[in-house]
């Protein structure tokens, strides 16, 4: 729709002919029939291909025939019901379940949990102390802390590593 004067242009109204879609050039889709088509018994044709005048079904036709509604149930389609009395009991008797080792009641739970925490804090303190020592004179980071701070961080990191080592060794020889 060309616009003659764009200052006075108003979009078309909701039921305008300009808004109606053009008809599609695509062919109309074929819809499935509402009722299934009745065909001769497909199981007989598939089972006996030697009958005169009847062509045997291809594998695709047999599969398609399985999904057509209203076809007679075949013996292979019927599922047997479960009967527990026919089973033989070969399973051992149930025993009481033991608690898992990682439970909160476990006395070693705290030690297992604290080891990676101590190692992580020790590495962080070592890195932060090294950053303060190597930051240089023009960096404002060194001016934020006193001169003894990196050495205190190194000492605290060594304490954390010693505690982690003590916990690791005590985990190897639990009492």
Each residue's pLDDT, cut to its tens digit, for the chain (175 residues) gives 566 666 666 777 777 777 777 777 777 766 666 655 555 554 554 455 555 555 667 777 777 777 776 655 554 555 566 676 666 666 666 777 666 555 667 778 888 889 999 999 999 999 999 999 888 778 888 788 888 999 999 999 999 999 999 999 988 876 6
Say which DSSP state 17 is in: G
pTM to 2 decimal places:
0.41
- Segments in the chain forming alpha helices (H): 42-47, 59-66, 109-134, 141-144, 149-172
């Amino acid at each position: 729709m060309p616009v003659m004067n764009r200052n006075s242009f108003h979009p078309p109204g909701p039921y305008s002919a300009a808004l109606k879609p053009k008809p599609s050039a695509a062919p109309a889709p074929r819809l499935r029939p509402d009722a299934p088509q009745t065909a001769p018994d497909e199981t007989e044709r598939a089972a006996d291909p030697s009958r005169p005048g009847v062509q045997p079904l291809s594998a695709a036709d047999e599969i398609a025939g399985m999904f057509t509604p209203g076809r007679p149930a075949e013996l292979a389609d019927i599922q047997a019901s479960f009967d527990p009395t026919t089973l033989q009991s070969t399973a051992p008797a149930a025993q009481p379940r033991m608690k898992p080792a990682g439970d909160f009641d476990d006395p070693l739970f705290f030690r297992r949990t604290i080891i990676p925490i101590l190692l992580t804090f020790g590495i962080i303190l070592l890195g932060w102390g090294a950053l303060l020592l190597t930051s240089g004179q023009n960096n404002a980071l060194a001016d934020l802390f006193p001169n003894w701070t990196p050495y205190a961080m190194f000492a605290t990191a060594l304490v954390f590593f010693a505690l982690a080592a003590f916990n690791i060794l005590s985990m190897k020889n639990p009492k």
